[in-house]
């Protein structure tokens, strides 16, 4: 069973059964970006602090960064995005994930918004 959490920067985090955390961007975010044309992923093994730039995403409208929502180390990246960045638009909560990480403090992830809180947050943005 997995648990989803969300950031105010529109990243989602899924706590997997094995304790790893998968990171991507929300449907709300990909909808506002438009067609994603490039994704630069972090290096496997990179140890990043909360707030560090983890990935870069470019769309037909803009470019932006995916920031580390919590401290951790990258254990896997979604290599499919190098050739098919549009997966972020097609399946932002599925095949369009960015990376998996091992977090130092799972409590930091659990403290992020749950789905109901995130939906209320984005309702105020529209």
Do the domain assignments include residue 40? yes
The total number of structural domains in the chain stands at 1
- What is the C-alpha separation between 112 and 119, in angstroms, rounded? 13
- Could you tell me which residues come within 8 angstroms of residue 56 by beta carbon, excluding any fewer than 6 positions away? 38, 39, 40, 63, 64, 65, 66
What pLDDT shows up at residue 104? 87
Domain that holds residue 31: 3-119
CA distances from 115 to 80, 84, 88, 123 (A): 27, 27, 19, 12
Share of the chain above pLDDT 90, in %: 89
What pLDDT shows up at residue 1? 46
pTM of the model: 0.93
Count Cβ atoms within 10 A of the Cβ of residue 30 and give its class: 0-12 exposed, 13-18 middle, 19 or more buried: buried
Do the domain assignments include residue 125? no
CATH code for the domain of 32? 2.40.50.100
Low-confidence residues of the chain, pLDDT below 70? 1-2, 126
């Amino acid at each position: 069973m997995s648990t989803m959490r969300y950031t105010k920067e529109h990243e989602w985090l899924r706590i997997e059964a094995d304790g790893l955390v998968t990171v991507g961007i929300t449907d709300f975010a990909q909808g506002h970006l438009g067609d994603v044309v490039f994704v630069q992923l972090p290096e496997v093994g990179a140890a990043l602090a909360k707030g560090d730039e983890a990935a870069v995403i470019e769309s037909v409208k803009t470019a932006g960064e995916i920031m580390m929502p919590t401290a951790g180390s990258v254990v896997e990246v979604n290599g499919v995005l190098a050739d098919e960045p549009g997966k972020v638009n097609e399946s932002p909560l599925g095949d369009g994930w960015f990376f998996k990480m091992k977090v130092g403090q799972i409590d930091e992830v659990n403290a992020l918004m749950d789905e109901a809180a995130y939906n209320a947050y984005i309702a105020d943005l529209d």
